[in-house]
């Protein structure tokens, strides 16, 4: 019970945070998130090497596409909010929506041209990732590297 109460309090703090001064796209640009990220940029997307593509959606929005396989369409997440976490310089909180109504709050660690999901809280308050650990199986989230394009 204490764990779930803590998660709900954490989620409430994320969702109650004041809006960032800039737009979603401004904040993602500040963190350098636009572009493609993967564990291995030279390998095709797979369940163990998802490719994440952050892109702008005019006028000031953004989306994240996650590719699990070259044979399937990517999952598309609308990024509804983006702001720096506290006074840190390397964590960003994203409010995303998958489909019409599946809301999630994410905290990404952005450091040295890598990103890693540190927190993922579903709209119902369930914690899917805590401190970089997947709560359902104890695995750790992968660090994705920025893929260079020429």
pLDDT given for residue 78 in this prediction: 95
The two three-digit tokens of residue 15, written as one number? 């969702």
* Cα Dmax for the chain: 51
Give the Cα separation of 61 and 28 in Å (integer): 10
Name the CA radius of gyration of the chain, rounded: 15
Range of the domain at 33: 2-146
Number of domains in the chain: 1
CB 97 within 8 A of CB 103: yes
pLDDT given for residue 88 in this prediction: 67
Give the Cα separation of 19 and 31 in Å (integer): 16
Is a pLDDT exceeding 50 seen at residue 145?
A: yes
Quote the distance between the C-alpha of residue 55 and its chain's center: 13
Give the Cα separation of 129 and 116 in Å (integer): 11
What tens digit of pLDDT does each residue of 92-118 get? 999 999 987 899 999 999 999 999 999
Give the Cα separation of 102 and 100 in Å (integer): 6
Count Cα neighbours of 144 within 13 Å in the Cβ-side half-sphere.
28
């Amino acid at each position: 019970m204490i764990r779930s109460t803590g998660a709900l309090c954490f989620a409430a703090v994320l969702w109650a945070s004041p809006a960032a001064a800039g737009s979603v796209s401004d904040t993602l640009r500040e963190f350098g998130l636009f572009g493609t990220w993967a564990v291995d940029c030279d390998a095709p997307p797979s369940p163990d090497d998802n490719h994440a593509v952050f892109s702008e959606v005019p006028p000031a929005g953004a989306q994240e596409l996650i590719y699990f396989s070259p044979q399937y369409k990517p999952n598309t997440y609308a990024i509804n909010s983006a702001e720096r976490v506290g006074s840190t310089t390397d964590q960003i909180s994203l409010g995303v929506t998958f489909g019409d109504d599946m809301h999630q709050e994410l905290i990404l660690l952005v450091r040295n041209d890598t990103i890693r999901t540190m927190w993922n809280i579903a709209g119902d308050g369930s914690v899917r990732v805590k401190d970089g650990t997947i709560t359902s199986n104890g695995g750790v989230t992968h660090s994705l590297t920025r893929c260079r394009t020429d």
